C-alpha cells in the first residue's frame, strides 16, 4: 500500500464515478470525485496529494484531452488513466501519444484495479 500521495481523483460523471469508487474500494486508496473541468482545476489547486487522475472520454464541459492538458500544467508526475467503453486501437494510440499513462476498457474492474495499482508505485514516486 502506498505510504503517501494516495488520493485518486475521479474526473467522471456521477454514475461512472460511483461505479469506479466501488471498484477501487478494495485497494484502500482514497478517491475524490469531480464531474467537470472546473472541479478538476479546483481539486488540483487545493493541494491534494494526488498521484493519479482517472477520467472517462467526455465530461460535462470537456473531454479526456482537456483533463490531460490541465493535469500536465499542474504536476507532470500525476498520471492519467482513461476509462473508455470499447476502446479502439486508434483511441489507444492517440491516448498514449497524448500523455495518458494507461487506458482501461470499461466494465473490467479487475483490469481497472490492476492499472491503478501499477500507476502508483509502492515507494510513492510517480
Q: Spell out where 1-126 has E strands.
A: 7-11, 30-34, 50-56, 58-59, 62-63, 79-84, 102-105
Q: Which pLDDT band holds residue 6 (cuts at 50, 70, 90)? A: low
Q: What is the pLDDT of residue 4?
A: 42
| pLDDT tens string 57-107 | 999 999 999 999 999 999 889 999 999 998 899 999 999 999 999 999 988
Q: Where are the domains of the chain?
A: 7-119
CATH fold of 7-119 reads Rossmann fold (3.40.50)
Q: What is the pLDDT of residue 5?
A: 47
| pLDDT tens string 16-47 | 999 999 999 999 999 999 999 999 999 999 98
Amino acid at each position: 500500500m502506498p505510504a503517501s500521495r494516495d488520493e485518486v481523483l475521479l474526473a467522471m460523471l456521477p454514475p461512472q464515478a460511483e461505479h469506479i469508487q466501488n471498484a477501487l474500494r478494495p485497494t484502500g486508496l482514497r478517491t475524490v470525485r469531480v464531474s467537470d473541468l472546473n472541479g478538476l482545476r479546483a481539486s488540483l489547486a487545493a493541494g491534494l496529494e494526488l498521484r493519479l487522475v482517472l477520467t472517462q472520454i467526455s465530461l460535462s464541459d470537456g473531454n479526456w484531452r482537456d483533463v490531460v492538458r490541465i493535469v500536465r500544467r499542474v504536476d507532470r508526475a500525476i498520471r492519467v488513466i482513461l476509462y473508455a467503453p470499447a476502446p479502439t486501437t486508434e483511441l489507444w494510440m492517440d491516448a498514449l501519444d497524448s500523455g495518458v499513462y494507461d487506458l482501461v476498457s470499461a466494465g473490467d474492474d479487475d483490469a481497472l484495479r490492476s492499472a491503478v495499482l501499477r500507476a502508483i508505485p509502492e515507494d510513492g514516486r510517480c
